[in-house]
Amino acid sequence: MFLILLFAVLAGFVAWGQVNKRLYNDGFSPFNLLFYFWVLPFSLRLFGLSSYESEWDLNTVLVLFWVTVCLAFTCIVPALLMKHYSFSVRRPIFERTMTLFRSKPLINWLLFFFILSFAAYVYSEFVTNPTGVAAFTLVNVPSTVLGDLHRWGKDTRWAIITPLLFVLTPTLYFGFRVSQKKRQKLLLLFLAMLYPLMGMMKLSRSDVFISALNIAFVEYYYRKYNSRRSSISSPTQIKMVMALLVAIALMYVSVVLRIGADAPNVYGSLGFNLNVPSPLYEVLALVYAYFALPFENFHRFLMSYTGDLHLGISFFRPLLSMFGQGEVADSMIATINFNVISGAANTGTFLTPVYAELGMVGLVIVPPIYGALVNILYGRFRIKPNFMNFLLYMTFVYPWTWLFFTNAFSVLTFYINSAFVIFLTFLVARRRTGRRTLLND
């Protein structure tokens, strides 16, 4: 059975890739990302590698089938509108965006906002943090219990401006890629690396992952639209793979450091029963816990929850957060028994909070809404790959890649960042050349 499932997953991987190549020829299309961050984790759960997993009933199967079909369908719609908008056809628009990133006004604005938000980030998440720099603290005192201190500062008033780094880090990196001045290139690259490095020192997986994802996004489309780099050579592919492996290794190290001396209890609570030697066992156990077990947690919650609906904890949470009522949502969440496998595997895909908030109605209507949002942004970007559309789509790539884990669409941060992108667009568009590049392409 194991080999049959493995063959089916590999066949699905090949087939999905061929469909994506025919429809979009784009590694960062929502359709392609959906396979890696929804279909593949879902398929991984079918291997049943944890002793805590149970047999799914028809309700769970039908819900997950419906959600997968909805998400996939919304990903196919843009292809119907983009028949005449290949990368080569729209390249002149993107090249004007690259030219814009060489302009002094835009670089100055990016530097201004970066200094402002990075200073707030360092103060709120390091200076006021009881552990200081978490990585250094754990190296010096391995018995330190971090708890949720890796999230320190994420829910304070500073969180209004610090997440701008999600946008500013990759835009500075893009400035580095297109700059023709050696000193400026070095400065922009140095600044672009600060946030992910600080996230690593704080042992914050989300900071590292968002930075790496958005920088990869920028690098990918820089090469895709750049006429001089329209094809990716083998040495470059090797470098990109190596960079990805380094990022994954750093994230794994951060997890190991955070687990610390509690490792036996953590791995034991996952029930991972694949018989392989250490440290491969620990690596595979964490991968399975992060990618596959959220689907099991959703099943457990779907079957066990009989409580009231909690309006505002997921789909409508951005509205609460907008009016400073995020604590109300947190207090409601604290009363819910999510019936998770363990504290080490305590998420249930984006569907769990949606079900707790809106019940079965939410499971029917929310997935296509999220799918439509991301694919509208993607379609706009592919048709008009200008400054604003480029950054707006990038802003929502992270929530889309996190569907298997949690509902990042419920976080106000990404909507604030979208408003910031629009604000930055019109700020730069005051110049006549900027207005033509940003708004009229």
pLDDT at 199 over 60: yes
pLDDT for residue 411:
94
208: confidence class by pLDDT, cuts 50, 70, 90:
confident
For residue 395, count other CB atoms closer than 10 A to its CB. Answer: 22
Tell me if 229 sits within 8 A of 117, measured CB to CB: no
What does each C-alpha distance from 75 to 26, 217, 364, 369 come to in angstroms?
12, 18, 17, 12
pLDDT at 143 over 70: no
* 310 and 382 both lie in a single domain: yes
Higher pLDDT, 257 or 6: 6
pLDDT at 235 over 80: no
Domain assignment of residue 39, given as a range = 2-81+269-410
Given 233, 262, 291, the domain boundary residue is 262
- Residue 425 lies inside a defined structural domain of this protein: no
- Residue 440 lies inside a defined structural domain of this protein: no
Q: Determine the average pLDDT of the residues in 338-364.
A: 93
pLDDT for residue 337:
93
pLDDT at 225 over 80: yes
pLDDT for residue 115:
96
How buried is 36 (Cβ within 10 angstroms: 0-12 exposed, 13-18 middle, 19+ buried)? middle
Given 195, 230, 262, the domain boundary residue is 262
Average pLDDT of the chain? 86
* 252 and 122 both lie in a single domain: yes
* 257 and 273 both lie in a single domain: no
Percent of the chain predicted with pLDDT > 70: 84
Contacts 24+ apart (CB under 8 A), 84-93: 85/382, 85/383, 86/25, 87/25, 87/26, 87/224, 87/225, 87/230, 88/230, 90/225, 90/382, 90/383, 90/384, 90/385, 91/225, 91/227, 93/384, 93/385, 93/386, 93/441
Q: How many domains does the chain have?
A: 2
- For residue 369, how many C-alpha atoms fall within 13 Å in the half-sphere facing its CB? 14
Q: Residue 21 and residue 65: Cα distance in Å, rounded?
A: 24
307: confidence class by pLDDT, cuts 50, 70, 90:
confident
- Residue 405 lies inside a defined structural domain of this protein: yes
* 249 and 390 both lie in a single domain: no
* 291 and 323 both lie in a single domain: yes
Q: Determine the average pLDDT of the residues in 321-349.
A: 89
State the pTM of this model. Answer: 0.90
Given 262, 292, 325, the domain boundary residue is 262
Tell me if 414 sits within 8 A of 165, measured CB to CB: no
* 222 and 144 both lie in a single domain: yes
pLDDT for residue 335:
93
Q: Determine the average pLDDT of the residues in 307-329.
A: 91
- 3-state SS assignment for residue 409: helix
- For residue 360, how many C-alpha atoms fall within 13 Å in the half-sphere facing its CB? 7
pLDDT for residue 279:
74
Rounded (10°) angle between helices 234-259 and 205-225? 170
pLDDT for residue 345:
84
DSSP one-letter code for 342: B
Higher pLDDT, 136 or 150: 136
How buried is 133 (Cβ within 10 angstroms: 0-12 exposed, 13-18 middle, 19+ buried)? middle
pLDDT at 248 over 70: no
- Residue 247 lies inside a defined structural domain of this protein: yes
Tell me if 318 sits within 8 A of 410, measured CB to CB: yes
Higher pLDDT, 247 or 297: 297
Rounded (10°) angle between helices 205-225 and 165-178? 40
Higher pLDDT, 254 or 433: 254
Higher pLDDT, 245 or 395: 395
Tell me if 221 sits within 8 A of 24, measured CB to CB: no
Tell me which of 35-49, 102-116, 224-238, 367-381 is least confident. 224-238
pLDDT for residue 256:
63
- Residue 315 lies inside a defined structural domain of this protein: yes
pLDDT at 302 over 70: yes
Q: Determine the average pLDDT of the residues in 48-65.
A: 92
Digit-coded pLDDT (tens) for 367-391: 999 999 999 999 999 999 999 999 9
67: confidence class by pLDDT, cuts 50, 70, 90:
very high
59: confidence class by pLDDT, cuts 50, 70, 90:
very high
* 100 and 180 both lie in a single domain: yes
- Residue 437 lies inside a defined structural domain of this protein: no
Tokens standing for residue 244: 């990805």
60: confidence class by pLDDT, cuts 50, 70, 90:
very high
pLDDT at 432 over 60: no
Higher pLDDT, 244 or 274: 274
* 167 and 187 both lie in a single domain: yes
- Residue 145 lies inside a defined structural domain of this protein: yes
Tell me which of 197-206, 327-336, 386-395, 412-421 is least confident. 197-206
Tell me which of 13-22, 146-155, 287-296 is least confident. 146-155
Q: Determine the average pLDDT of the residues in 287-294.
A: 91
Tell me if 252 sits within 8 A of 209, measured CB to CB: no
- Residue 165 lies inside a defined structural domain of this protein: yes
* 221 and 370 both lie in a single domain: no
* 140 and 170 both lie in a single domain: yes
Tell me if 341 sits within 8 A of 293, measured CB to CB: yes
* 113 and 255 both lie in a single domain: yes
* 96 and 243 both lie in a single domain: yes
Tell me which of 189-198, 247-256, 298-307, 413-422 is least confident. 247-256
pLDDT for residue 264:
63
- E strand spans, 158-301: none
pLDDT for residue 284:
86
434: confidence class by pLDDT, cuts 50, 70, 90:
very low
Higher pLDDT, 271 or 63: 63
